[in-house]
């Protein structure tokens, strides 16, 4: 006897879902009010300290209070470095640009290393452009289309109204095709952009809600517009600086946005665009949105790339750069010396107290005398760049407790959240075997040799 044939209803069928290594991550899994990490939320489990530190950075990115800084996420393989970066990208939203880049990509592209890094930097900086456009908005009363027998040019008339007035417009071939494509009929509320000719169907008029026309369950009823037919509305577009570069590059044109082959873009083009965007910002027509550039496998970069990144971070238009590395003490490419995580070490500078005070004044931050003294000590021991970076994070922590002045406790909390080069070096020395070494060997055992009586790696 043949086996019975089973059928599956369409409601039980699932679409083709592409499942990747981090497709389950929906965010950082933190409490938005306190920025405290939850034990298990939005696809992330554990690593509470690292997730809280990432949430602090993320909050400052959203507020536009941080740019031109670099953050290193270091740890052994499979401890969630890329997962945290993916959680940050999911939490930023559509308006803040987020660019992911593997260091090995820079050396495989058909362009110079500095050009590849420049394009990655400019992909991570958004420009929110505001412009006013004239829009015709109203309810369609009647559509008349005259088609010729030979199938040539089509002509027609569109009758459209508001609650106060009614007007008849002549339609050409393109307008008629757009109307047909949007399936516009009498009783629809439509919006026509006069500059581009784009037609948007907003819904059906409430006056037609009792008609016996066949309509779907998702049909939306809206009120007939009031006042004039032609109105001026402010429209906002968010683009990246790289997209503006490509469109204004004569050798490439806007089609390069779809092919991906942008090639080298001349520095003169970028300088002109920077000047124009600066003018738009002063006039209130545009807003700069510093985004996030995530560079994975940062130890693969050479000393030339690090030198360029250092200079690019000090520019006026710079995103925040998040780097990830799983290496311990390794040789910096292009040099003969080793350093922790394969990154060049920073310097310590004299007169740290005065420089930190000037930096705090520039960022409009009020430091208590104790906080300034602690930051000065940190600057002398851990590097001035690190001390100036945690001024911003300390400010955010002071705002969380509704204080107008940064105290020594805020600086200490920032110091515990974010490692400096000295403690990062100590971490590498302590857990050397858990990082990937020069010979490519890695061990997840901290004590013992066979793993039976060893301590498990701490991933908290």
Check residue 426 and give its pLDDT.
81
The C-alpha atoms of residue 66 and residue 319 are separated, in whole angstroms, by 8
Question: Burial level of 416, CB count in 10 A (0-12/13-18/19+)?
Answer: exposed
pLDDT reported for residue 216: 62
When mean pLDDT is compared across 141-150, 167-176, 292-301, 390-399, the lowest value belongs to 141-150
Helix (H, G, I), strand (E, B) or coil at 266: coil
pLDDT for 356-394, tens place per residue? 888 888 888 888 888 888 888 888 788 778 888 888 888
Give yes or no for a contact between 403 and 366, defined as CB atoms under 8 angstroms apart: no
The pLDDT score that the predictor gives to residue 325 is 85
How far is residue 266's CA from residue 260's CA, in Å, rounded to a whole number? 17
Give the DSSP letter of residue 30.
Answer: B
As to burial, measured by CB atoms within 10 angstroms (0-12 exposed, 13-18 middle, 19+ buried), residue 253 is exposed
Confidence of residue 57 (pLDDT cuts 50, 70, 90): confident
- To 10 degrees, what angle do helices 48-62 and 81-92 make? 30
Distance (Å, whole) CA 294 – CA 98: 8
Q: Does position 9 have pLDDT exceeding 50, yes or no?
A: no
Q: What is the pLDDT of residue 65?
A: 67
Q: Which domains does the chain have, with CATH numbers?
A: 130-235 (2.40.50.360), 352-417 (1.10.8.60)
Is pLDDT of 89 > 70? yes
Q: Which candidate, 227, 228, 190, 224, places its Cα nearest to that of 207?
A: 224
pLDDT in tens, 280-330: 888 888 888 888 888 888 888 888 888 888 888 877 778 888 888 888 788
Give the three-state DSSP class for 221. strand
Name the 3-class secondary structure at 56.
helix
Consecutive H or E run containing 412:
helix 408-417
For the entire predicted model, the pTM comes to 0.59
Chain centroid to CA 395: 23
Is the pLDDT reported for residue 164 higher than 80? yes
Distance CA 337, CA 348 (A): 19
DSSP per residue, 288-321: EEE-EEEEESGGGSBHHHHHHHHHHHTSSS--EE
**Mean of pLDDT over the chain:** 77
Angle at 70 between CA 123 and CA 329, to 5 degrees: 120
Residue ranges in 11-133 assigned as alpha helix (H): 48-62, 81-92, 103-108, 113-123
Within 217-342, residue ranges assigned H as helices are 241-248, 256-259, 267-283, 303-313
Q: Would you place residue 454 in the very low, low, confident or very high pLDDT band (cuts 50, 70, 90)?
A: very low
Higher-confidence position of 267 and 26: 267
Query: Residue 188's beta-bridge partner residues?
Result: 204
> What pLDDT is recorded for position 460?
39
Lookup: tokens for 68: 């031109």
What does the pLDDT average to over 190-198? 80
Position 445 pLDDT exceeds 50 = yes
């Amino acid at each position: 006897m043949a086996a019975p044939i089973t059928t599956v209803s369409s409601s039980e069928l699932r679409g083709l879902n592409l499942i990747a290594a981090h497709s389950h991550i929906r965010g950082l899994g933190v409490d938005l009010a306190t920025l405290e990490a939850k034990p298990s939320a939005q696809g992330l489990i554990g690593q509470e300290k690292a997730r809280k530190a990432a949430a602090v950075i993320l909050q400052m990115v959203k507020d536009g209070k941080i740019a031109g800084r670099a953050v290193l996420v270091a740890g052994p393989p499979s401890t969630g470095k890329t997962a945290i970066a993916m959680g940050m990208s999911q939490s930023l939203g559509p308006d803040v640009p987020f660019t992911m880049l593997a260091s090995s990509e820079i050396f495989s592209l058909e362009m110079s290393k500095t050009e590849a890094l420049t394009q990655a930097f400019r992909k991570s900086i958004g420009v929110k452009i505001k412009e006013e456009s004239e829009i015709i908005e109203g309810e369609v009363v009647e559509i008349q289309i005259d088609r010729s027998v030979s199938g040539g040019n089509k002509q027609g008339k569109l009758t459209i109204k508001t609650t106060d007035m009614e007007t008849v417009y002549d339609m050409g071939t393109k307008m008629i095709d757009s109307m047909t494509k949007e399936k516009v009929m009498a009783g629809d509320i439509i919006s026509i952009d006069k500059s581009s000719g784009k037609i948007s169907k907003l819904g059906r008029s409430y006056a037609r809600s009792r008609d016996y026309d066949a309509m779907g369950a998702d049909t939306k009823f809206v009120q007939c517009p009031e006042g004039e037919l032609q109105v001026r509305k402010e429209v906002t577009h968010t683009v990246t600086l790289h997209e503006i570069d490509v469109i204004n590059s004569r050798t490439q044109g806007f089609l390069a946005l779809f092919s991906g082959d942008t090639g080298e873009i001349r520095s003169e083009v970028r300088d002109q665009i920077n000047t124009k965007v600066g003018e738009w910002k002063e006039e209130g027509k545009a807003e700069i949105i510093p985004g996030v550039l995530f560079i994975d496998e940062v130890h693969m970069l050479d000393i030339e790339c690090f030198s360029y990144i250092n200079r690019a971070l000090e520019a006026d238009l710079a995103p925040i750069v998040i780097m990830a590395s799983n290496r311990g003490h390794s040789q910096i490419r292009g040099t003969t010396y080793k350093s922790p995580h394969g990154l060049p070490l920073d310097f310590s500078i004299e007169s740290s107290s005065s420089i930190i005070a000037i930096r705090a004044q520039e960022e409009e931050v009020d430091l208590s005398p104790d906080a300034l003294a602690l930051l000065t000590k940190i600057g002398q021991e851990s590097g001035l760049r690190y001390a100036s970076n945690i001024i911003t994070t300390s400010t955010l922590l002071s705002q969380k407790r509704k204080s107008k002045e940064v105290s020594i406790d805020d600086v200490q909390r920032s110091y515990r959240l974010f490692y400096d080069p000295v403690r990062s070096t100590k971490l590498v020395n302590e857990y050397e075997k858990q990082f990937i070494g020069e010979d490519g060997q890695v061990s997840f055992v901290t004590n013992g040799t066979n793993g039976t009586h060893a301590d498990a790696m701490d991933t908290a």
